[in-house]
A and B are shown apart, each in its own frame.
Chain A
């Protein structure tokens, strides 16, 4: 069977997601729906000295969207707001570690979009 898309690590993040929790009095939060497939991701977190010190997500959807949210939230802990805003599509593809067609790419990028929107809002409100 050729099921390369669904590698063990990805499946593991889907079944046992990291940071799937609510963050009390968050400094930033945002939520997005991928209307073409119904994937939903919300992210919230806390910032101290311009660094992400706590982060949590909630969501519903396919393996790729939810596993990517788990991986991304884990990878940005301790990073500065600017570092997270500089994360690119390519970084996510590398992080997810699988070949994705244009239609599934949207699923993988959903969490990044939510997080960067939340941080942009955070910066705007700070200024």
Chain B
């Protein structure tokens, strides 16, 4: 772990001291991650020194912006091992990426009776768009069930049928963390392909913790957000396999995405441009580029995974010593390879604990985590979630456990 030491010093916000006595403890990384100084600087430098639009201006600043914008696309292709740069589409984020595929592909392709295969653990972003597609097209939603004892998936291929036309699954749950073991997801994708289905992978919770290898995993669509990998908000990535570029319609129509326009008709530009109408979030893309550079330079994914799992292990062993705490998830797996721990405390509402911890400088998430059906399935009132990033430390976990015990005592004192 030597090369990850003091990484927190790269993140200005994490060095602030809102309580004047100590730095904040930020354990809400599954929601969004903090930004290293290099990302913030890349954005301010762009606005203060090189700002212009992309793809249009015939002057130096615009040429710089265009060059940098397209460089970032290439960097991302390399980062996730996609074959072609044109397969990388900039979106607003994961949510827009999924809605994009739902509106511009699934809505036009699916027929009554076709099956859309999801899992029980999907975030609302990977459930609601498919509910709407189903109601519009007559397609049917099917769910790969979660084993509530081990919090994993058994024989997921058995849910794939000849009627499956689309499988849209998360690579890692925002409530439970890893749900697939070994090459289970890859095998499932092969099984879906073998019946002719297309596959979308929601990688929002995976991308910050594990190296994505598109050519190995082989999805047709894959989505993630920039702000969960140390980049700015307002930019995300939609990977679309080149073979589908003609089958997927543009999500929005307007400037930048056309080849030729007449009063009564238009011809689209080639991908990726046909998928990016209007002025894109240039500064956010440039910031995301700086975030990828930061990760390439500073973070070894194997070390990071080991570090985050170590933090989970510390946290789990501390939580197991506190009365009335119930961890929701596969404890063994969390300690081995996790990046988040969800739990509840009997007799104290998760929101109260999170508020109390918040006033004491600790940021955690409480509630239903945008996964209401899963929370109902788990039969819990609300959950507290601690989610780690590479910059978190063992000292923070230790401090958190002390504060949590104080908080529980406070709410149970009467």
Residues of chain A at the chain B interface (Cβ within 8 Å): 1-6, 11-12, 15, 35-39, 60-64, 104, 107
Interchain nearest-CB distance for A1 vs B (Å): 7
Interchain nearest-CB distance for B225 vs A (Å): 20
Interchain nearest-CB distance for B362 vs A (Å): 12
Q: Are B410 and A38 in contact (CB under 8 A)?
A: no
A residues less than 8 Å from B381 (CB atoms): 38, 60-61
Residue of B nearest to A63 (CB): B352
- Say yes or no for B58: interface residue by CB 8 A criterion: no
Interchain nearest-CB distance for A120 vs B (Å): 27
Task: Indicate whether A36 sits within 8 Å of B368 (C-beta atoms), given known contacts A6-B410, A62-B349.
Answer: yes
Report Cα–Cα, A24/B30, bound state, in Å: 47
Q: Are B375 and A38 in contact (CB under 8 A)?
A: yes
- Among the listed A11, A15, A36, A63, which residue makes an inter-chain contact with B367, where contact means beta carbons less than 8 Å apart? A36
The B contact surface, by secondary structure, is helix
A residues less than 8 Å from B382 (CB atoms): 37-38
Most buried by B among A39, A60, A62, A64: A62
Q: Are B359 and A4 in contact (CB under 8 A)?
A: yes
Interchain nearest-CB distance for A4 vs B (Å): 6
Q: Are A2 and B352 in contact (CB under 8 A)?
A: no
Report Cα–Cα, A9/B352, bound state, in Å: 15
Q: Are A6 and B368 in contact (CB under 8 A)?
A: no
- Say yes or no for B411: interface residue by CB 8 A criterion: yes
A residues less than 8 Å from B367 (CB atoms): 36-38
Q: Are A5 and B356 in contact (CB under 8 A)?
A: yes
Interchain nearest-CB distance for A109 vs B (Å): 14
- Say yes or no for B414: interface residue by CB 8 A criterion: yes
CB pairs A–B below 8 angstroms (22 shown): A1-B360, A2-B359, A3-B356, A4-B359, A5-B356, A5-B359, A6-B352, A6-B356, A12-B414, A36-B368, A37-B351, A37-B368, A38-B367, A38-B381, A62-B351, A62-B352, A62-B355, A63-B411, A64-B351, A64-B355, A104-B351, A104-B355
Residue of A nearest to B356 (CB): A3
Report Cα–Cα, A5/B360, bound state, in Å: 11
Interchain nearest-CB distance for B392 vs A (Å): 22
Q: Are B359 and A15 in contact (CB under 8 A)?
A: no
Q: Are B349 and A61 in contact (CB under 8 A)?
A: yes
Report Cα–Cα, A64/B356, bound state, in Å: 12
Residue of A nearest to B366 (CB): A37
Report Cα–Cα, A1/B352, bound state, in Å: 15
Report Cα–Cα, A1/B19, bound state, in Å: 11
B residues less than 8 Å from A4 (CB atoms): 359
Interchain nearest-CB distance for A32 vs B (Å): 15
- Say yes or no for B406: interface residue by CB 8 A criterion: yes
What 20 additional pairs, Cβ within 8 angstroms, besides A6-B410, A11-B414, A37-B366? A1-B406, A2-B19, A4-B359, A5-B355, A6-B352, A12-B414, A36-B368, A37-B349, A38-B368, A38-B375, A38-B381, A38-B382, A61-B349, A61-B351, A61-B381, A62-B349, A62-B352, A63-B411, A64-B352, A64-B355
Report Cα–Cα, A63/B19, bound state, in Å: 24
A residues less than 8 Å from B359 (CB atoms): 2-5
Report Cα–Cα, A93/B153, bound state, in Å: 46
- Among the listed A5, A15, A39, A60, which residue makes an inter-chain contact with B414, where contact means beta carbons less than 8 Å apart? A15
Interchain nearest-CB distance for A122 vs B (Å): 30
